[in-house]
Amino acid sequence: MIQLKNKYAKTLPCLALLILFTVVQYNNLKIYYDEILNSSGLIYEDFGHELKKENEKALENEEEYQKIVHSAEDTEENSKQKEEDNSSVVKEPHVHALSALLLDASNNRVLYENNGYHEMAMASTTKIMTCIVTLDNANLDEVVTVSSYAARMPDVQLNINTGEQYYLKDLLYSLMLESHNDVAVAIAEHVGGSIEGFATMMNDKARELGCEHTNFVTPNGLDAEGHYTTAKDLAVIASYAIKNEKFIKITNTSSHVFQEIKKGKSHTVSNKNKFLYMMEGAIGVKTGFTGEAGYCFVGAIKRQDKTLISVVLGCGWPPNKSLKWSDTKELMNYGVNNYKVRQIFEDVKLDPIFVKDGQQKYETLKVEGDITLLMRDDENVKVQYELPKTLQAPILADSAIGNAKYYINDMLYSEIPIYTTTDILKIDYKFCFKKLLGLWSLQY
């Protein structure tokens, strides 16, 4: 009995010390334990606590909320009135062409169109593609030998003869400055091996540029079954062409003198594009006329802050030869006077996303971009962010997990990806062991 009392006497102080230590350290242990669980993503924030906070916030903002509700009708009416006022300021161009379109050459955005997506004949504006395919695929110092087929082409002609030889560079000046049909065929046969082969190259280039409503049959644009384009596609082709310095040099030359290689017969070609002298910054591009297509013209101007492409197809028939010039100026003035450069990208800080089973609770996000374009003052921009509610570990940094969609006047213009910023590993036994070891060893 005495021995038993002595045994309890020895253990009681230790037990009392353990109880005292546990009481003192309880709060610290609980705080540290909660931190581990929260950081690991094993549990969400306390729902009841968060709900109480949200209810308190709602009550605090009730008065402001009621103001917003009661003023919604007035705001909507004011917005409608502003839209009506702005729309009355912008006067759309009045054109005679059966198909007309104005394009921002920096991004190929359509600024105005009237039947701009309708498939039509395009006459010698075809030669824009003939020229650019040649520049992309041939050396300008190559020698072209004229075939009998090329020499028989109808007006407009350079009057080249079978067997004559010319440098390819000289024939491109003849093609673009005076629109010679015989020269177009000679070039096509040389570069493509045949008319059909060159047409395939033209169509391949059109598809590469995204022109799905264009089909080339001839290199000169003479009326042919299945030979067509749209004002939109033709503007895109011209937008590509004017980015080529050699193309601009040729089409902006006032005159060019050259000789046939074998016998030295001299030719002089002069630029028939009057638009080059009609507006400041005019840089091209090409006229055209056939009985089916009517008068056609593709124009381009380059100002300090904008480059515009205009297209008019079916712009009158004889004797209305000058309508293509007045229509082109109308389109260009509309673009110059009503559109200015705007940056519409929103540099926002996105909320982090909860990560299930992650060694970190939240993933931070980033979205970067530059959306600079020509816009009217009355055009509206809306941004819609598409993101998942949660992510599942593991996650790699710089992974695209959503996007920001930019709408202009309710039409989708651009999508910018949203990326993760950090690697987050999935919770595993090793991670849990390390956390628990830190917890129970009081390393906090």
Q: What are 163-187's pLDDT values in tens digits?
A: 999 999 999 999 999 999 999 999 9
Active site annotation includes 124: yes
Claim to verify: residue 155 and residue 203 sit in the same structural domain: yes
pLDDT confidence of residue 366? 96
Domain CATH number, residue 365: 2.60.410.10
Tell me which of 127, 205, 286, 435 is the catalytic residue: 127
Report the pLDDT averaged over residues 255-281: 96
**For residue 54, which amino acid is it?**
E
Total structural domains within the chain: 4
Claim to verify: residue 60 and residue 163 sit in the same structural domain: no
Claim to verify: residue 379 and residue 409 sit in the same structural domain: yes
**For residue 226, which amino acid is it?**
G
Q: What are the pLDDT digits (tens) for 323-382? A: 999 999 999 999 999 999 999 999 999 999 999 998 899 999 999 999 999 999 999 999
- Please say if the pLDDT value at position 54 is more than 70: no
Query: Does residue 172 belong to any structural domain of this protein?
Result: yes
Q: What are the pLDDT digits (tens) for 182-221? A: 999 999 999 999 999 999 999 999 999 999 999 999 999 9
Tell me which of 179, 239, 310, 414 is the catalytic residue: 179
Task: Let me know the angle formed at the C-alpha of 101 by 97 and 102, rounded to the nearest 5 degrees.
Answer: 130
| Residue spans of alpha helices (H) in 41-111 | 47-60, 62-89
What count of other Cβ atoms lies within 10 Å of the Cβ of residue 383? 15
Q: Which helix (H) or strand (E) holds 407?
A: strand 400-408
Claim to verify: residue 18 and residue 108 sit in the same structural domain: no
Active site annotation includes 127: yes
Structure tokens at 60: 């605090």
Claim to verify: residue 300 and residue 201 sit in the same structural domain: yes
Active site annotation includes 266: no
pLDDT confidence of residue 85? 53
Q: Is 363 exposed, middle or buried (0-12, 13-18, 19+ CB in 10 A)?
A: buried
What are φ and ψ of residue 40, in 5° steps? Answer: -85, -15
Structure tokens at 18: 């353990």
Claim to verify: residue 416 and residue 365 sit in the same structural domain: yes
Query: Does residue 397 belong to any structural domain of this protein?
Result: yes
pLDDT confidence of residue 62? 53
Residue-number span of the structural domain to which 50 is assigned: 43-89
